[in-house]
Amino acid sequence: MAIGTTEVLSTPATQSAGPWRTAWRDLRRNKVAMGSIIVLIVIFAACLAAPLYASSVMHLDAFTSNLDGKFTVNGVTGPVMQSSDTGLGLGVNPIGPTWLWNNFFLGADNQGRDVMSRLLYGGRNSLVIGLVSATLCCALAGFIGIVSGYFGGGLDAVLSRGLDVLWAFPVYLLAICLSVVLINQSLTIGPITLNSGSIILPILIIGVIYVPYVARPIRGQVMSLREREFVQASVGAGATDARLLRREILPNVLPTLIVFLPLMTAINMLTESALSFLSIGVQPPDASWGTIINDGVGLLYTRPMVAIAPGVMLAITAVALNLLGDGVRDALDPKARLRGAV
């Protein structure tokens, strides 16, 4: 039997046990997908444990400047911020990675704070912002792309030009503007009141700005699908638009959205750092992987690990999400099931 695939994704296991159970069984058999889930769980757990790591292992607050800090390794004590003592003695650099679990494992940043602690804390913001904004983006894009491609005509023209405006819109200008406006005021959107430190703001901005990027391919796909034999046949058989969209179009579009979701998550985590840089979203001394990368770019020549570590985390997360997405899609295989039903 055919079922609405969105429901399968959003409400687990409760309804029509058959296909869902099959899918879940397929997924469980997929070693790569299960491996990805484990990796993601480990990353989530580690990020949740950030306060524990900072207080009980590292014994250093991750958000307080530590420019005068000292560290001790193998009985040798030195300053965290080390002045250059060769040549003209110019420059002060934070210590590099010690590779000791409990002592500046990845070194310190330009405030003398532990990079490892900040990486774990930063993961919380990055994961939330990346995942929520990517989901928002794909949901909006899926909706607009399908409506635009399916109904065509005037509606398509209006929506498409709206996407053009959005795509050509200088987001950085808006971000600069918001960053200054929000210093003294907060922004009220309906019932929600936002200040510049709220992470809802970057989620909304990032979620919306990439909508054209996902919506346009979906629209093209739907335009092409609409003319296919099996859709035309359904139209001939008197199927309603709602039924067509749900049973023919959506299942065919979903795999594309599943591919875009992890990609957009990675892109969004990076875009978030650009907005943070402009004082929208994650604010100092708070961190995200993107903001740590920003800090690290300034330390590229001396402490490359500050930028590499969050970059690696970001890549691992994106790869795991991609592999999981593939697994989910294979397990659901909506097209095969759809074809069985027709």
Partner 1 sequence: MLRFALKRAVAAVLVLFAISVLVFLIFFATPGADPAARIAGRNASQETLQQVRESFGFDKPLPVQYALMMRHLFIDRDLTSFVNRGVEVIPQIKQAIPITLSLVIGAAIIWMFFGILMGVAATAGRGSAVDPLIMIIGVIGVSLPVYWLGEVVNLMTQSRLHDSFFSWVPPLGYAPLSSGVWNWASHLIMPWMTLAVLYAGIYARVLRSEMVGAMNEEYVRMARAKGISERRVLWRHAFRTSLIAIVSLFGLDFGALIGGAALLSEVVFGLQGVGKLTYDSLQNFDLPVILGCVMYAAFFVVLANFLVDLVYALLDPRVRHV
Partner 2 sequence: MKLRITTAVASAGALTLALAACGGGSTPAPSASAATGGTTSSSAANAAYDPAKAGGDVTLLAKTAGGTLDPKINYTLQYWQLYQAAYDGLTAFKKVDGQESFTVVPDLAESLPTATNDGKTYVFNLRKGIKFSDGTDVTVDDVVASFQRIFKVSSPTAGSFYNGIVGADKCLATPATCTLDGGVVADATANTVTINLTSPDPEFFYKLSVPHAAINPKTAPVKDAGTTPIPTTGPYMFKSYDPNTALVMVRNPNFKAWNEDAQPSGYPDTITEKFGLTVEAEVTAVENNQADWIFDSPPADRLAEIGTKYAAQVHVNPLTAVWYVPMNVNLAPFNNEKARQAVNWAVDKNAVVKILGGDKLAAPVCTILPPGFPGFKDDCQYTNPAGATWQGPDLAKAKALVTESGTAGQAVTIITTDDEVNKAVGEYLQSTLNSIGYKATLKPISGNIQFTYIQNTNNKVQISLSQWYQDYPAASDFINVLLGCASFTPGSDSSINIAGFCDKTGVQPMIDDALKTEQTDMNAANEKWAATDKAAMTQAPWVPLVTPKLIDFLSTNVSNYKFSKQFYMLVDQLQVKK
Q: Is 221 near partner 1 (CB under 8 A)?
A: yes
Q: Is 161 near partner 1 (CB under 8 A)?
A: yes
CB of 311 to partner 2, least distance (A): 11
- Sites of contact with partner 2 (CB under 8 A): 63-65, 67-68, 81, 83-84, 86-93, 110-111, 172, 176, 179-180, 183-184, 196-197, 270-271, 273-274, 277-279, 283-285, 290, 293-295, 297-303
Instruction: Please identify which residue in 4, 42, 172, 241 interacts with partner 1, judged by CB under 8 A.
Output: 172
- By C-alpha distance, which of 221, 50, 71, 74 is closest to 141? 221
From 16-24, 73-81, 91-99, 151-159, give the range in contact with partner 1 by CB under 8 A: 151-159
Q: Is 25 near partner 1 (CB under 8 A)?
A: no
Q: Is 336 near partner 1 (CB under 8 A)?
A: yes
Q: Which is nearer to partner 2, 61 or 156 (CB)?
A: 61
CB of 79 to partner 2, least distance (A): 9
Q: Which is nearer to partner 1, 103 or 271 (CB)?
A: 271
CB of 263 to partner 2, least distance (A): 17
Site residues for partner 1 per CB under 8 A: 32, 152-153, 157, 160-161, 163-165, 167-170, 172-174, 176-177, 180-181, 183-184, 212-213, 216-217, 219-221, 223-224, 227-228, 230, 252, 255-256, 258-260, 262-263, 266-267, 270, 273, 290, 293, 296-297, 300-301, 307, 311, 314-315, 318-319, 322-323, 326, 329, 335-336, 339
